[in-house]
Chains A and B, each alone.
Chain A
Amino acid sequence: MNIFSLALIVLVGILFFVLFFHFSNFVLDYYEKKSKSSFTFENSIRVIIFIAPAFIVLFVFIIYPVFETIRLSFFDKVGREFVGWHNYSWAIKDPDFRRGILNNLGWLLIVPTLSTFFGLVIANLADRIWWGTIAKSIIFMPMAISFVGAGVIWKFIYDYRGPGDDQIGLLNAITVALGFEPQAWLTISIWNNLFLMAIMIWIQTGLALVIFSAALRSIPNETLDAARIDGASELKIFWSIIIPYLQQTILVIWTIITILVLKVFDIIYAMTNGQWQTEVLANLMYDWMFRGGGDSGRGSVLAFCIMIGVIPILAWNLYQHRKDQQL
């Protein structure tokens, strides 16, 4: 498709929504101003105009699918016949599924921890150094890059050439320079997961960094100065003042990265496609959606497993929201 016809569809698509809101409200304004009555009827129409598009989209793309996915997980692969717990018992017995669960747990344990830790350390370092802003900017940059782009970047780093050749991958070049044999890193079972996680940590540290940076500024200087006058070392200040102060922020960042990691798909799909025992739930689910014409039952079970991971966070968010509303 050429650029002009694409531009035209894009324009029509956007204008459709602009015009919908404009005309419906324009007509309503006309009646509201004319009638001058107590505006109950017009008001309820107005509410509908304001809410309906968003609500329909929310319903079609989030609310209905959540229940439909749960329903489909009890049906066969085309979603017609009820099969009870069959898909779930398949999952428990499936070695790929078990491997996926284990890998996902590994990701959940390591990536949020290290990203948060690095983010916190770098935010602290950068805050007291004159070129800290530039440093933060550089470390934050991977946040803008796609997972696939990051995949290419890191595949290049992990590139492997035979022992006799010049290594063009950075990691193997260092390995060889230190006097070791070059390795095909991505094919070493179990350990290769760590090399994939490194990519996510490389990306998410930036997120932790900027949020911590903002939060650090809220620590009153008097507290820090008082500690320094009392002779506390910088390390002591870090552990005894800064970390307790940032507890809430640490929790928030941890949660954000956890949610992201639960859904991790792109990195693995681009780097190994689940080979060499690197599969995670999201990749298995994608596989089952399309493998052999697709199996919506098994795919739904896998999606639901990812969902289970976020339910505690979901409940916590709602609880917090209710608490805030009552204030």
Chain B
Amino acid sequence: MTKKISFTSILAQILLLLFVVAWIAPTFGLFISSLRDKDVLAISGWWTSFITTEVNEIYRTKGMEVQFEKDGYFFIEDNLFGDKKPKEISSFGITSKDINGYEIKNTATFKDGSEITLSKNGNYSWKSKEAFTKKKGKRIFITALSPPSFTFENYKEVLFKEGLGQAFINTFAVAIPSTLIPLIICSFFAYSLTWMKFFGRDLLLAIVIASLVVPLQMSLIPVLSLYNDFGALFGVSAKSYPGIWMAHTGFGLASTTFLLWNFLKSLPNEMMEAARVDGATHYDTFIKIVVPLSIPAFASIFILQFLWVWNDLLVGLVFLDKNPSEIILTAKLKELLGSRGENWEILTTGAFISMSVPLLIFFSLQRYFIRGLVAGSVKG
């Protein structure tokens, strides 16, 4: 090959690398952030978390209660970090104007003449000629080295305290039936559209194809009012799990049927006819021939519909209550965006938890996912 081609190939590699970096950076940043300590997360960018950085923090010494007398001097001794995670201090200061004026070994002198020394691990010794009289200690400014550190604390907090664990379970309770029910109903429907002869079959198929593109929004108001009427009539809540299953079934029905129909009509006609001649009923044919052959198609459709339901927000908002026993992950996450908008440790972790299942499916079953999407796009 000539030099020119290898040059374009390098250019292509660089360009593709730029795309990849731009596409992965947002998710990667979120993931790293969810593993960081919430205090550092709020004050420094996630890209700084891989290297040791300097952080400036303020602590307060203990007050007069803990003082003791020795050799004519009064002392207060303790550790600055107390119960918190210790850090390695590089320098410190005693006024806000000069926050790192003292090296670790030096002694700082306060206005009242008392002296303080600080060691690397946060132990301090505060010495005074006269007894300490203030309950409140002095502020100490430290500059510490913060080595890369990651933690699962955020996950524990979000799953158990913020109620995301329950929302996670709820989402499964929505997603599994909302995926399986359309699959069951539509496989019979698609079979009949492909292999049974009856009046109005072409019209029915045309309706399915037209329904493919009808926006969800067209259904929301009428279906919600149907649910309300139904709920009032039987004295049950209009918002329930079976309600949302059927809504998702309805909204996913056209695409599921269409994908299955597309697949089924590619099966050899002779096989069906042979089975019929042998005296198999349509149900026998369906169970013994069509279903086993359709497993790959089922897998693709299952994944598409499952991801769609798992990631849905609108249907969940309209057809389920927002109380903890019904709220789904996406709705919960949106709620957190509103109420905990500045708590990035909660948001990043929550988002990552909500993404965990789709990502798992994506990486393990990517081939089926792509196959479904490509098949679905043949017609649009």
Residues of chain A at the chain B interface (Cβ within 8 Å): 1, 3, 6-7, 9-10, 13-14, 17-18, 21, 25-26, 28-29, 32-33, 43-44, 46-47, 49-51, 53-55, 57-58, 60-66, 68-69, 72, 79, 118, 122, 125-126, 128-129, 132, 135, 137-149, 151-157, 159, 165-170, 173, 202, 205, 207, 210-211, 214, 234, 252-253, 255-256, 259, 262-263, 265-266, 269-270, 282, 285-286, 289, 296, 299-300, 302-304, 306-307, 309-310, 313-314, 317-318, 320-321, 325
Residues of A within 8 A of B99 (CB): none
Known A-B contacts A6-B169, A63-B207; A320 and B379 likewise in contact (beta carbons under 8 Å): yes
CA distance A50 to B291 in the complex (A): 14
Residues of B within 8 A of A50 (CB): 188-189, 191-192, 196, 282
* 28 A-B residue pairs with CB within 8 Å: A6-B169, A6-B172, A62-B219, A66-B214, A135-B20, A140-B370, A141-B23, A141-B24, A145-B358, A146-B330, A148-B313, A148-B330, A148-B351, A149-B330, A151-B337, A153-B351, A165-B43, A173-B45, A207-B373, A210-B373, A214-B374, A269-B313, A270-B313, A286-B317, A309-B215, A310-B213, A317-B212, A317-B380
CA distance A79 to B221 in the complex (A): 11
Residues of chain B at the chain A interface (Cβ within 8 Å): 8-9, 12-13, 15-17, 19-20, 23-27, 29-30, 33, 41-47, 169-170, 172-173, 176-177, 180-181, 184-186, 188-189, 191-192, 196, 198, 202, 204-226, 241-242, 245-247, 249-251, 253-254, 257, 279, 281-284, 307, 310-314, 317-318, 325-326, 329-330, 333-334, 337, 344, 347-348, 350-351, 354-355, 358-359, 361-362, 366, 369-370, 373-374, 377-380
Known: A140-B366, A325-B202. 16 other contacts (CB 8 A): A61-B253, A62-B254, A65-B220, A139-B19, A140-B370, A142-B23, A144-B355, A145-B311, A147-B313, A149-B354, A157-B26, A168-B42, A169-B45, A170-B45, A173-B45, A266-B313
In contact, B246 and A29 (Cβ under 8 angstroms): no
In contact, B253 and A62 (Cβ under 8 angstroms): yes
3 closest Cβ contacts across the A-B interface?
A: A61-B250, A146-B311, A54-B189
In contact, B250 and A138 (Cβ under 8 angstroms): no
B180 — nearest CB in chain A belongs to which residue? Answer: A14
A62 — nearest CB in chain B belongs to which residue? Answer: B211
Known A-B contacts A58-B250, A144-B359; A303 and B173 likewise in contact (beta carbons under 8 Å): no
Residues of A within 8 A of B223 (CB): 60-61, 65
Select which of A156, A214, A306 is within 8 A of B217 by beta carbon: A306
B27 — nearest CB in chain A belongs to which residue? Answer: A153
In contact, B185 and A17 (Cβ under 8 angstroms): yes
Residues of B within 8 A of A317 (CB): 209-210, 212-213, 379-380
In contact, A145 and B325 (Cβ under 8 angstroms): no
Residues of B within 8 A of A155 (CB): 337, 347
In contact, A58 and B208 (Cβ under 8 angstroms): yes
B19 — nearest CB in chain A belongs to which residue? Answer: A122
CA distance A170 to B314 in the complex (A): 29
In contact, A303 and B218 (Cβ under 8 angstroms): yes
Select which of B313, B344, B358, B377 is within 8 A of A211 by beta carbon: B377
In contact, B284 and A29 (Cβ under 8 angstroms): yes
Of B17, B251, B347, B377, most buried by chain A (CB within 10 Å of CB) is: B377
In contact, A152 and B350 (Cβ under 8 angstroms): yes
Residues of A within 8 A of B314 (CB): 265-266, 282, 286
In contact, A263 and B192 (Cβ under 8 angstroms): no
Residues of B within 8 A of A285 (CB): 217, 220
Distance in Å: Cβ of B380 to nearest Cβ of chain A: 5
CA distance A263 to B219 in the complex (A): 13
In contact, B177 and A13 (Cβ under 8 angstroms): yes
Residues of A within 8 A of B192 (CB): 47, 50-51
Residues of A within 8 A of B359 (CB): 141, 144-145
Select which of A53, A252, A259 is within 8 A of B213 by beta carbon: A259
Distance in Å: Cβ of B312 to nearest Cβ of chain A: 8
Known A-B contacts A61-B219, A168-B41; A1 and B207 likewise in contact (beta carbons under 8 Å): no
In contact, A54 and B347 (Cβ under 8 angstroms): no
In contact, A44 and B198 (Cβ under 8 angstroms): yes
A60 — nearest CB in chain B belongs to which residue? Answer: B250
Residues of A within 8 A of B283 (CB): 25-26, 28-29, 46
Select which of A144, A256, A309 is within 8 A of B307 by beta carbon: A144
Residues of B within 8 A of A303 (CB): 215, 217-218, 220-221
Distance in Å: Cβ of A128 to nearest Cβ of chain B: 7
B359 — nearest CB in chain A belongs to which residue? Answer: A144
In contact, A138 and B24 (Cβ under 8 angstroms): yes
CA distance A230 to B358 in the complex (A): 47
CA distance A126 to B224 in the complex (A): 46
A128 — nearest CB in chain B belongs to which residue? Answer: B12
In contact, A210 and B173 (Cβ under 8 angstroms): no
In contact, B220 and A53 (Cβ under 8 angstroms): no
Residues of B within 8 A of A143 (CB): 362, 369, 373
CA distance A325 to B265 in the complex (A): 12
CA distance A138 to B359 in the complex (A): 11
B166 — nearest CB in chain A belongs to which residue? Answer: A1
Select which of A7, A141, A173, A234 is within 8 A of B27 by beta carbon: A141
In contact, A13 and B355 (Cβ under 8 angstroms): no
Residues of B within 8 A of A207 (CB): 373
Residues of B within 8 A of A57 (CB): 185, 246, 249-250, 253
In contact, B355 and A146 (Cβ under 8 angstroms): yes
B17 — nearest CB in chain A belongs to which residue? Answer: A135
Known A-B contacts A211-B374, A265-B313; A3 and B12 likewise in contact (beta carbons under 8 Å): no
CA distance A129 to B6 in the complex (A): 11
Select which of A29, A147, A157, A289 is within 8 A of B221 by beta carbon: A289
In contact, B358 and A156 (Cβ under 8 angstroms): no
In contact, A47 and B358 (Cβ under 8 angstroms): no
Distance in Å: Cβ of A180 to nearest Cβ of chain B: 16
A39 — nearest CB in chain B belongs to which residue? Answer: B281
Select which of A140, A144, A151, A300 is within 8 A of B358 by beta carbon: A144
